[in-house]
Chain A
Amino acid sequence: MKAERILMAHGSGGLMSQQLIDEIFKAAWSNEYLESMLDGALLDLPAGRIAMSTDSFVITPIFFPGGDIGKLSICGTINDLVACGARPLYLSVAMIIEEGLPLADLRRIAASMAQTAALAGVKLVTGDTKVVEKGSADGIFINTTGIGLIPAGIDYRPQQIREGDHIIVTGTMGDHGLSILAQREGLRFSTPVSSDCAPLYAIGRKLAPYKADIRCMRDPTRGGLATVLNEIAVQSNLGIIVRDKDIPVSPVVRGACDMLGMDPLYMANEGKMVIFTAPEKSAAVLETLHSIAECQAAAIIGELRAQPAGLVLITTELGAERILATLEGEHVPRIC
């Protein structure tokens, strides 16, 4: 391709569109489904329950420490499927690209998507590309939709959660949110913060033996851990109590959040899971998690109670209990 940047003609459906697909997407993601060049992917699925999830990714900057919008778009949908108890199989990819995006950036994004998908054993089987005029998008927007197979015996839903169940987080909270904030605002910390963006397919596989003991899983993305806990408290109609001192937060994230007046429990994660498990098996689940590279800091952070139903309490370092509320509006730094 001669052009260095995306032109409106790349979205015309003509020869340039074809070149773009061949030279960037098919080259990076090649598989039999894409090669067949049909209007959609024809998939042979084994019998059983299928989970389906979709997510759109709009992020500035599109490249950040620990990942990029491509990796994020694959991880996001894979992790949603894992949270449903599914083994992710196939993903579709739709891109809205702003005129002027350097082709080198697009190649980098496509390669990163291919690498992440291969790691997780999922195939990118169908896709779509649209180009919009400069100013009508912010570089690139990506939507991915995925399907995965739910093995027999798995039923992860908040309704399964019972009084006394334990709550596990699979690692430190707030890394992705702080990394993006720092990158966007040019904040520099003595230790650089990387996004935790990672596909959590291994959690699904390794925790398979505990499928009867795991009640529910959620990935604490936007709104962070506090938001997930509040959703679960309402949906299970139980009370949640977590211990502040047991929630893993890296020292640099904690320090930066203190400085900015923000709370890591409300910041986004892109490679973490919150797992609700039967109390008698929580130690075993935790030990298994510790064998996964991304879950070294996993910890049991609290439990479910009958009361106060629908609310989340947190025990502070003073031993006082207070409400951990849902975030209202945007989470912004203080000015005082």
Chain B
Amino acid sequence: MNLNNDNKYVSSLLQDIQSESRDIALMEVCGTHTMAIAKSGIRNLMPGNLKLLSGPGCPVCVTAQGDIDAVIDLAERPGITLVTFGDMMRVPGNNSSLQEARSRGADVRVAYSPLDALAIARQNRRLEVVFLGIGFETTAPVVAVTVEQARREGLKNFSVFSLHKAVPPALEVIFADPAIKVDGLICPGHVSIVIGLKPYLSLAVKYHQPCVVTGFETRDILEGIVMLLQQIRKGEAQAQIQYKRVVKPEGNRVAQETIKRVFRPVGARWRGLGFIENSGLEFNREYEDWDARRKFDIPEYEDIPIKGCACGQVLRGRITPPACPLFGQPCTPLNPVGPCMVSHEGACAAYYRYRIT
């Protein structure tokens, strides 16, 4: 496709969207979509009657407050080296953050992959290296491979604090909530590479929700929105893939099998959504030695909500970030009160950075 045709195609998609006159709310589940929509300016080009709501698709944001407090406490235990993705460093716990814990002397390191944490453990046998496993079906396979490798090597000074979450059970909670009005779902591209279309097929039928797995380029997102509008206009509710160049209907079987070998589904707490059955991942018996919760006897921490913070409401799609009383004052990316303002995939951070009102 040459550039000229491409521009014409994008304009035609925009015209189609702008011609919509009904009141429609679409939810983008994934934090990367939230950012891409803000960054490309798509939100500014939507007609007033078409709302794009952000959903529970930022892994850092949906981590329960109690779990964050547990992580910070673990990091401060003597002899522990906590390795984490960078986004977690500034997330506020009730008393502190990992960044503050590090400044007080805790050994907290930022990595881009769990394999980096494994390398630290291999090279420093006297350190107890704990990788903070946060993320959805996208990160879980890599963590699973890492734990398998640790087991093969007999590396006993490595473990994983698993706070992994599965996306489909959370979507079910949102659809079942009568207070949330969503007419269609922009489904996450990266997560769906692993899980495929199957989970959305049943959601589409059960809740009569059009679902379109969408890519992250500007034209992907516009095309995904048009596909949803076409379904809504016809009164249909199907699960479709816009992001066909990457996502296969069956997903990535190898990655799915890898997750299954190492983890089993378990109930998990989500910020804003509460406890959801089968939405977390816990280690299978033969990998229990690498389970940091078990190894360090980490208790369940109570979820003590941050006063005034409406991240939970934002994650459910009940309100948009500017409706939170703390948005912008005092909660900003520099002084975040809640995680949605910290994470680069967080809805509050996207709204704040791109001054969406």
Is B a genuine binding partner of A? Answer: yes
Spell out A's residues near B (CB within 8 Å): 185, 187, 258, 261, 263, 316-323, 325, 328-330, 332-336
A191 CB, nearest partner CB in chain B, Å: 20
Question: Lowest 3 CB-CB distances: which A-B pairs, in order?
Answer: A320-B41, A332-B86, A328-B333
Q: How far is the CA of A316 from the CA of B10 in the complex (A)?
A: 13
- In the complex the two chains form, is B333's CB within 8 Å of A320's CB? no
A81 CB, nearest partner CB in chain B, Å: 31
A142 CB, nearest partner CB in chain B, Å: 24
Point out which of A185, A322, A335, A336 has the most chain B C-beta atoms below 10 A from its C-beta: A336
Residues 119-166 (chain B) with a chain A CB within 8 angstroms: 134-136, 138-139
A231 CB, nearest partner CB in chain B, Å: 16
- In the complex the two chains form, is A336's CB within 8 Å of B41's CB? no
Q: Which residues of A contact B10 (CB under 8 A)?
A: 317-318
A-B contact pairs, 6 of them (CB 8 A): A185-B113, A187-B112, A322-B40, A328-B333, A334-B35, A334-B344
- In the complex the two chains form, is B218's CB within 8 Å of A334's CB? no
A320 CB, nearest partner CB in chain B, Å: 3
Q: A320-B45, A329-B334, A330-B86 are in contact. Are A336 and B40 (CB under 8 A)?
A: no
Closest to A245 in B: B3
Residues 308-352 of chain B, each 1 if its beta carbon lies under 8 Å from chain A, else 0: 000000000000000000000000111000000000110000000
- In the complex the two chains form, is A316's CB within 8 Å of B40's CB? yes
- In the complex the two chains form, is B31's CB within 8 Å of A336's CB? yes
Q: How far is the CA of A283 from the CA of B86 in the complex (A)?
A: 42
Q: How far is the CA of A87 from the CA of B186 in the complex (A)?
A: 55
Q: How far is the CA of A336 from the CA of B344 in the complex (A)?
A: 10
- In the complex the two chains form, is B333's CB within 8 Å of A329's CB? yes
Q: How far is the CA of A335 from the CA of B42 in the complex (A)?
A: 23
A135 CB, nearest partner CB in chain B, Å: 13
- In the complex the two chains form, is B42's CB within 8 Å of A318's CB? yes
Q: How far is the CA of A263 from the CA of B112 in the complex (A)?
A: 16
User: Is B73 part of the binding interface, using a Cβ–Cβ cutoff of 8 Å?
Assistant: no
- In the complex the two chains form, is A317's CB within 8 Å of B218's CB? yes
Q: Which residues of B contact A335 (CB under 8 A)?
A: 59-60, 85, 87, 134-135, 138-139, 345
Q: How far is the CA of A208 from the CA of B31 in the complex (A)?
A: 48
B149 CB, nearest partner CB in chain A, Å: 16
Q: Which residues of A contact B113 (CB under 8 A)?
A: 185
Residues 36-77 (chain B) with a chain A CB within 8 angstroms: 38-42, 44-45, 57-60
Q: Which residues of A contact B135 (CB under 8 A)?
A: 335-336
Q: How far is the CA of A332 from the CA of B112 in the complex (A)?
A: 9
User: Is B269 part of the binding interface, using a Cβ–Cβ cutoff of 8 Å?
Assistant: no
B350 CB, nearest partner CB in chain A, Å: 11
Q: Which residues of B contact A187 (CB under 8 A)?
A: 112
- In the complex the two chains form, is B59's CB within 8 Å of A322's CB? no
User: Is B354 part of the binding interface, using a Cβ–Cβ cutoff of 8 Å?
Assistant: yes
Residues 62-104 of chain B, each 1 if its beta carbon lies under 8 Å from chain A, else 0: 0000000000000000000000011101100000000000000
Q: How far is the CA of A57 from the CA of B14 in the complex (A)?
A: 48
- In the complex the two chains form, is B110's CB within 8 Å of A334's CB? no
Q: A322-B354, A323-B353, A323-B354 are in contact. Are A336 and B138 (CB under 8 A)?
A: yes
Closest to B32 in A: A336
7 new A-B contacts, CB < 8 A, other than A185-B113, A336-B57, are: A261-B35, A319-B41, A322-B39, A323-B353, A330-B86, A335-B134, A336-B345
- In the complex the two chains form, is A185's CB within 8 Å of B116's CB? yes
